[in-house]
A and B are shown apart, each in its own frame.
Chain A
Amino acid sequence: MPVTVRTFASTSEAASALSSDRGARYLGGGTLVMRALNEGDISISTVVRATDQALSRIDVSSSRITIGAGVTFAKILAERDLAFLHAPARSIGGPAVRNMGTVGGNLFAPNPYGDFTVALLALDATVSVQGGLGARDLPVEEFLQSRERQSGALVLAVSCQRPASADAFRYRKIARIKPKGGSVITLAAHLPVSGGRITGARIALGSMAPMQIRARAAERVLEGRSFDDASINAAAAAAAEGVSPADSALGSAWYRREIVGVHLRRLLSGLE
Chain B
Amino acid sequence: MLELRKDIFADERDDNLKEIGKGTQRQDMLGHVTGTSTYFDDHKLQGMLHLKVLRSPHAHARLRRIDTTEAERAPGVRRVIRGADVPVNLNTLLSLINFGKDDEPSLAVDKVRYKGEPIVAVVADSPREAYEAIAKVRVDYEPLPAVFDVEEALKSGAPVVNETYPKNTFVYHDVYDHQKLRFGDVERGFAEADHVLEQRYQMSPIEHAPTETNGSIAAPDTNGRYVVYTSTQALFFSLDTCAKILDVPSNTFHFVGGTVGGGFGGKVDTLTEPLAILGAMLTGRPVRYQLGREEEMQFGSPRGAERIFVKDGVMRDGRIVARKICAYFDSGAYTRLSSYAVVKCAAHLPGPYTIPNVHGDIYCVFTNRTPATAMRGFGVTAMDFALECQMDKLAHLVGIDPMEFRILNAYRDGDMKAHRREAKNTALIECVQVAAEKAKWPLREEAKRASSRKDGGGSRAAMSPTPQDPAPQRAAASQQRTSYDRAPPVVTQPPPPTPTPPPPRPQAPSHGAARFSSVFGTRRR
Which A residues are within 8 Å of any B CB, using their own CB?
1-3, 37-40, 42
- B442 interface hit (Cβ, 8 Å): no
Interface of B is mostly: helix
A3 to B132, CA, bound (A): 11
**Cβ–Cβ < 8 Å partners of B294 in chain A:** 39
B262 contacts the other chain (CB 8 A) = no
- Output the nearest chain A residue to B52 by Cβ-Cβ distance: A40
User: A40-B52, A40-B131 given. 16 additional CB < 8 A pairs?
Assistant: A1-B75, A1-B132, A2-B128, A3-B128, A37-B128, A38-B292, A39-B292, A39-B294, A40-B127, A40-B128, A40-B134, A40-B292, A42-B128, A42-B131, A42-B132, A42-B135
Residue from A2, A38, A40 with most neighbouring chain B CB atoms (10 Å): A40
Chain A residues positioned under 8 Å from B292 (CB to CB): 38-40
Q: A66 CA to B219 CA in the complex, in Å?
A: 55
| Shortest distance from the beta carbon of A151 to any chain B beta carbon, whole Å | 20
Across-interface contacts of A2 in B (CB, < 8 A): 128
A sample of 15 cross-chain residue pairs with beta-carbon separation below 8 angstroms, ordered by A number, consists of A1-B75, A1-B132, A2-B128, A3-B128, A37-B128, A39-B292, A39-B294, A40-B52, A40-B128, A40-B131, A40-B134, A40-B292, A42-B128, A42-B131, A42-B135
Q: What DSSP secondary structure best describes chain A's contact surface?
A: loop
| CB neighbours of A42 from chain B (8 A) | 128, 131-132, 135
Alpha-carbon distance A37/B292, docked complex (angstroms):
12
Complexed CA–CA distance, A37 and B128 (Å): 8
Within 8 A of A (CB), among B257-310: 292, 294
Q: Which residues of B contact A40 (CB under 8 A)?
A: 52, 127-128, 131, 134, 292
The 5 closest A-B pairs by CB, nearest first: A40-B131, A42-B132, A42-B131, A42-B135, A39-B292
Select the residue from A3, A37, A42 with max chain B CB neighbours within 10 A: A42
Contact code string B109-139 (vs A, CB < 8 Å = 1, else 0): 0000000000000000001100110110000
Nearest Cβ in chain B — how far from A182, in angstroms? 14
Report chain B residues within 8 Å CB of A38: 292
Cβ contacts under 8 Å, A3 to chain B: 128
Cα(A42)–Cα(B75), bound, Å: 14
Question: Could you tell me the distance between the alpha carbons of A1 and B134 in the complex, rounded to whole angstroms?
Answer: 13
Min distance, Cβ B299 to any Cβ of chain A, angstroms: 14
Q: Mark B188-205, 1 if CB is under 8 A from A, else 0.
A: 000000000000000000
Residue numbers in B under 8 Å from A1 (CB-CB): 75, 132
Distance A1 CA – B294 CA, assembled complex (angstroms): 24
CA–CA, A3 to B131, complex, Å?
A: 13
